[in-house]
Amino acid sequence: MELVLFDLDNTLLAGDSDFEWAQFLISRGVLDRELYEARNATFYAQYKAGTLDIHEFLAFQLAPLARHRRAELDAWHAEFMATQIRPRLSDGARALVNGHLETGALCAIVTATNSFITGPIARELDIGHLIATIPAQENGEFTGKPRGTPAFREGKIERVERWLEELGLYLGSFRRTTFYSDSLNDLPLLCRVTHPVAVDPDPTLEAHAIKHGWPVMHLHTAGEPERDDD
């Protein structure tokens, strides 16, 4: 059996769903533009630079969920999917996922973005397993706090290993383990699988991939998308 893990933002998705969700709420007038837009951009820049404090970011990103009823949030998310997410899911990304699903591989999205935002995206791609940062809930409503270990940097390894344990498996159970990602933040998990693949990588990841002979593929920038079948 093969295990295939996909990062989401800027990997399968041409953009960052965390960033775009905040921008969407700003555009709807749910969040104050003056207060939120600059901070949203700052956190995104920190993420790309590899300097993000995940707990500081989650305090910012999850707080709006606690201010609104779940039904209202779900309605906004349906609009968000239609206008901001589906147009960012390329044919190449869908073909990559479908190719692995058709082989019978165990597939999962592994993302730091919270599961409220990413759950519908995983379902859109027919990926049945999602390992994401979990926003805590009470009686079906969000508290504005995270629960458990965020799926970020080394936390992705912890969360993947815990998920596999629940299935009675571990990374060594598979003849081949693949992880697709664009980000230097995912180097810890990329270094744990047998087949790391850099997808439209940031400069740090691209340099690391070239140095270590990892495949580099393109889904959203110049170049032909293709699967790594080594």
Give catalytic residue positions.
7, 9
Distance, in Å, from the CA atom of 85 to the CA atom of 38, rounded to the nearest integer, reads 22
For the sheet with 195-199, list strands across it: 141-147, 130-138, 106-114, 2-6, 176-181, 195-199, 216-217
Q: Are 136 and 31 in contact (CB under 8 A)?
A: no
Residues 6+ apart with CB under 8 A from 217: 180, 197, 198, 199, 200, 223, 225, 226, 227, 228
